Amino acid sequence: MCCGIIGVLAIDGGSVAHVIRESLKRLEYRGYDSIGVATKYNGRLYIKKDKGKIDEIHRKLNLDALPGDIGIGHTRWATHGEPSQVNSHPHTDCKNQIAVVHNGIIENFLELRKELIERGHKFKSATDTEVIPHLIESFIEDGYTLEDAVQSTLAKLHGTYAIVVLYSHLKKLICARKESPLILGVGERALYCASDIPAFLPMTNKVLFLNDGDLAILQGGEIQLRRIQSFSSPIQIRKPVLIDWTPEMAQKGGMPHFMLKEIHEQPKAVQNTLRIRTEEIDRLVKLLNEANEIILTAAGTSYHACLYGGYLFAKLAKINSQQIISSEFSEKIGETLTDKSAILAISQSGETSDTLNAINYARNYGAKISAITNVVGSSITRSADYFIYTLAGPEIGVAATKTFLVQITTLALLGLTLAEIRGILNNSEVQDLRQQLFNIPKLIEQVIEKREDSIKVTADLLAHKPNFLFLGRGINTPTAMEGALKLKEISYIHAEAYPAGESKHGPIALIEPDFPVVFIAPQDNTFDRIVGNIMEMKARGARIISVTDSRKIHDLSDHTFWVPKGVPDIFTPLVNIVPLQLFSYYSAVRRNHNPDKPRNLAKSVTVL
């Protein structure tokens, strides 16, 4: 999901540096904050790497000049350690004999790093990855073969990885995967391993898919496959599959748009975000809990995440908070802030000027500033006293989808800890809810798998409608608002959202026969009232589209987007928003608009 890796072994002895650079260019959509390439030539490693985009770095360093017929490369989307030259991959051991590129997150890197430092290893970067070459080095010093050293290293790692290892003394690549993507390409003149097919598609369309837990050794023209767990016996090599995608299709995982790909990546993005370290959550919770008041601020979709946070903190931890749209921050809050105020700013890009401006305003009053962002090293991280990174990987589509889900996932983690330390929930209640939160990625996957086709049919049917009303209650009011924003920004259909109870105070005047009204209607404590709201709309001839787990609501609806039953009320927005994202996507496509690049909008808005 984040970072792209590549390894190339030229069977015919040709030089590989330019092949690696061009492959990285095609993987840039997976991450683009730093680039690095390592090659092996005459028993030593040659490495060039830096922070920045590949073309800039190539102009500066001439990556193609690296010598050798075997090498590895990496395009980074930072998760540990801000984008910088030293934090760029490949990472090496103390003697610069082992170079590693990695995509994933090593959860126990701090413990491993400490042990290695105590044993005399010298670290250069702040990354989790650097423990890998040092561990391999220490096993090789103990007399292990390269393969055994890599396998023993992997056995020590907790977390996720796709890695490629290059060693100065052997023309051999070792790669392995656990919960991060890695595939092999089988060419006439070279073997490849990479995060994704576009990396090597112009050279070969023969792809060998690795399973989770596989380790592959590339040497000569041969591939040997093993299982990381039972290393001694090689397993049978699977047959390569022939891929008939264009490189552009391949970048989008075979999907027509990044937005759709990113919607499909949500289960993984949420799962990764649920791995945020407990200490990080605890630190932010401490900052919030010690304050006299909590104010959440953001723009657009991230503001809807703030609204969710407001309901969640109140329901779960009995904390009142304010949510303020960043561009309104100074006007709304006036001169009421103090050094006991805590600000929680949310921004996927970390670059939104309105949000940065709100933070700066609050800082003048001595308020404590915290932030949630998806982009490592972004401006918001420099403005905040404390921040948490969500782990969605890069989002290319202008419409926020997976970054919204990881923002509300992070808020859910914060809410649970707040509830526990404030004594509102006991430890076993928190553990029970946490367990159910960890089950959400599976449920999101189910919604996508089972409901996408029927959502598309509904979108095809309704995409000609000029206006939509979105209604929700309680914690799903922000879901309604986000659903409406998605529809309007990519399909250009006018969509309004309201708390359902407010509809009778004005919006109901719009309703005429066949006017589409979308209800977010889970079976929570608002259920009876939302049934009443649906009846009011039906009585005026509205066409009802519902996101629900209830048969009763289904019977009242013209179209139902089913979601799974049994999700705790406070987590329902995590699944309920998914059908609405798909509905917006297919409506935009039906109207012949490119959902990845909606008119007049930019991925990060850096003007006030």
Q: Mind telling me the catalytic residues?
A: 3, 603
The correct pick among 300, 309, 474, 516 for binding ligand M6R (CB under 6 A) is 300
Instruction: Select from 9-17, 166-174, 345-353, 431-439 the region that touches ligand M6R (CB under 6 A).
Output: 345-353
Question: What is the Cα–Cα distance from 235 to 193, expressed in whole angstroms?
Answer: 18
In the complex with ligand M6R, the residue whose CB is nearer, 104 or 397, is 397
DSSP state of 69: S
Sign of the alpha-carbon torsion through 561, 566, 570, 571: negative
- Is residue 136 a contact residue for ligand M6R (CB under 6 A)? no
- Is residue 306 a contact residue for ligand M6R (CB under 6 A)? no
- Is residue 302 a contact residue for ligand M6R (CB under 6 A)? yes
Question: What is the Cα–Cα distance from 289 to 303, expressed in whole angstroms?
Answer: 21
**Short-list 116, 115, 155, CA closest to 137:** 116
CB 264 within 8 A of CB 448: yes
Question: What is the Cα–Cα distance from 292 to 315, expressed in whole angstroms?
Answer: 18
Instruction: Select from 18-26, 396-404, 506-514, 588-596 the region that touches ligand M6R (CB under 6 A).
Output: 396-404
In the complex with ligand M6R, the residue whose CB is nearer, 198 or 300, is 300
Name the residue whose CB lies closest to ligand M6R. Answer: 300
Instruction: Select from 18-26, 346-354, 430-438, 445-453 the region that touches ligand M6R (CB under 6 A).
Output: 346-354
- Is residue 379 a contact residue for ligand M6R (CB under 6 A)? no
- Is residue 352 a contact residue for ligand M6R (CB under 6 A)? yes
- Mask 405-444, x = binds ligand M6R (CB under 6 A)? ----------------------------------------
In the complex with ligand M6R, the residue whose CB is nearer, 106 or 362, is 362
- Which helix (H) or strand (E) segment holds residue 368: the answer is strand 368-373
What is the Cα Rg of the chain in Å? 25
CB of 267 to ligand M6R, least distance (A): 20
- Is residue 398 a contact residue for ligand M6R (CB under 6 A)? yes
3-state class (DSSP) for residue 560: strand
- Is residue 327 a contact residue for ligand M6R (CB under 6 A)? no
Site for ligand M6R in 548-607 (CB under 6 A): 601, 604-605
Instruction: Select from 247-255, 349-357, 497-505, 585-593 the region that touches ligand M6R (CB under 6 A).
Output: 349-357
Instruction: Select from 193-201, 397-405, 419-427, 531-539 the region that touches ligand M6R (CB under 6 A).
Output: 397-405
Residue 82, both tokens: 């801000």
3-state class (DSSP) for residue 104: strand
Residue 330 neighbours by CB under 8 Å, 6+ apart: 357, 358, 361
- Mask 86-105, x = binds ligand M6R (CB under 6 A)? --------------------
Give the Cβ contact number of residue 536 at 10 Å: 16
Give the Cβ contact number of residue 513 at 10 Å: 8
Question: What is the Cα–Cα distance from 503 to 203, expressed in whole angstroms?
Answer: 58
CB 130 within 8 A of CB 123: yes
The correct pick among 489, 519, 559, 572 for binding ligand M6R (CB under 6 A) is 489
CA 574 centroid distance within chain: 14
Give the Cβ contact number of residue 461 at 10 Å: 14
Footprint of ligand M6R (CB under 6 A) = 299-302, 347-349, 352, 355, 398-400, 489, 601, 604-605
